[in-house]
Amino acid sequence: MQRESDCERIIGTLREHGFRITPQRRRVVEIVCAADGHISAGEIYDDIHARNPQVNISTVYRTLEWLENLGLITRSDLGEGREVYEIATRGKHHHLVCDRCGAIIEVDDSILDGLREILMEKYGFRAEITHLVIHGVCKSCRENDGSP
Amino acid sequence: MQRESDCERIIGTLREHGFRITPQRRRVVEIVCAADGHISAGEIYDDIHARNPQVNISTVYRTLEWLENLGLITRSDLGEGREVYEIATRGKHHHLVCDRCGAIIEVDDSILDGLREILMEKYGFRAEITHLVIHGVCKSCRENDGSP
DNA sequence: TTGCGTGCAAAGCCTTTGCAACGGT
DNA sequence: ACCGTTGCAAAGGCTTTGCACGCAA
């Protein structure tokens, strides 16, 4: 499957560039690749720590920082102190979250094209929106509730 | 000026509702009103503490929470652990945050009109975006760096 | 062997909380 | 005088850092 090949590809890239592949680093890469979307440093640590209690959380943070600097994973700040990571190969996307039923809808990055243009034209601001979470009400909930 | 009347209006509202107006609470309200836009809890504390060293930061946090619950101020999560407050009377707006120089640019809610339309048309999703923080690079940083 | 990476412990930030004393009304 | 508020201190959650040992290459 795609996630496994992502993982092997990343490990291979690191090895080719002469980076040391330690068991800890390998586990972090595996877990991030296996994750279905975002995952936090704490979740990665819990996962590793369950099998290898000697592994320290500082190693997880250092590995994530290293992978991020290498451009192999991306970090998103979800607000409220929540920082999550995911592999960088996924197409850029964002999430709509329905506040009624909790549904999460993945939307393509292109929905932001217009907004980016406006910000550049009006403010000269180059928006770098890596991950956006938009709350609201989904279609079925609107129809069920009869709300606009 | 507007800020002063905001301040007096809030104090008056609090007093009318029977809330106790302590010097600490008064100072917090004054500082938030006097701030040009958003201000962080730490900045408020520094301001108060400079003149009244006995005032504790926990009082600042408690007062801000109280004012927020009363709907008199709003809190925005700028990401990276930065939370800022401002008086609630201001028109709906959003923030552009420059990741190079830290500048914060206030933009009107209308910049999201297009995005809201797209989400409604393509996904039937009614976006309820109360406050959006968009990271990126501001005009002057782009010009200084020569980046696009 | 060599020096990069790790575990450990401690600290750094920001924010919250328990508790006894204080002070608005 | 009452009881809501405050100051203090401590803790809590997450992340970072200094240091000496250990291990990948």
- Domains of chain A (ranges plus CATH)? 2-90 (1.10.10.10), 93-145 (3.30.1490.190)
Mention every residue, 6+ apart, whose C-beta is less than 8 A from residue B26.
B11
Residue A113 CA, chain-centre distance (Å), reads 20
Please report, for residues B29, B33, B96, B97, B142, the alpha-carbon distance to residue B145 in angstroms, rounded to integers and kept in the order given.
40, 36, 18, 17, 5
Q: What are phi and psi of A129, to 5 degrees?
A: -95, 100
Averaged confidence pLDDT in chain A: 88
Q: H-type helices in chain B, by residue range?
A: 2-16, 23-34, 41-51, 57-69, 113-123, 139-145
What confidence tens digit (pLDDT) does each residue in A60-85 have? Answer: 999 999 999 999 998 887 777 788 89
Q: Tell me what pLDDT residue A120 has.
A: 97
Rounded distance between C-alpha atoms, residue B131 and residue B88, angstroms: 12
B124/A105 touch (CB, cutoff 8 Å), yes or no = no
Q: Tell me what pLDDT residue A106 has.
A: 84
The segments of chain A whose pLDDT lies below 70 read 1-4
What confidence tens digit (pLDDT) does each residue in B19-31 have? Answer: 899 999 999 999 9
Which of B111, B128, B137 has its CB closest to that of A115? B111
Q: Look at residue B45 and tell me whether its pLDDT is greater than 90.
A: yes
Cα of B25 to nearest chain A Cα, Å: 25
A110 at the B interface (CB within 8 A)?
A: no
Rounded distance between C-alpha atoms, residue A51 and residue A30, angstroms: 14
Q: Tell me what pLDDT residue A24 has.
A: 95
Q: Tell me what pLDDT residue A34 has.
A: 92
Cα of B113 to nearest chain A Cα, Å: 9
Rounded distance between C-alpha atoms, residue A80 and residue B123, angstroms: 27
Rounded distance between C-alpha atoms, residue A115 and residue B111, angstroms: 7
A136/B148 touch (CB, cutoff 8 Å), yes or no = no
A122 at the B interface (CB within 8 A)?
A: yes
Band of residue B102 on the pLDDT scale cut at 50, 70, 90: confident
Nucleotide whose C1' lies closest to the alpha carbon of residue A81:
D14
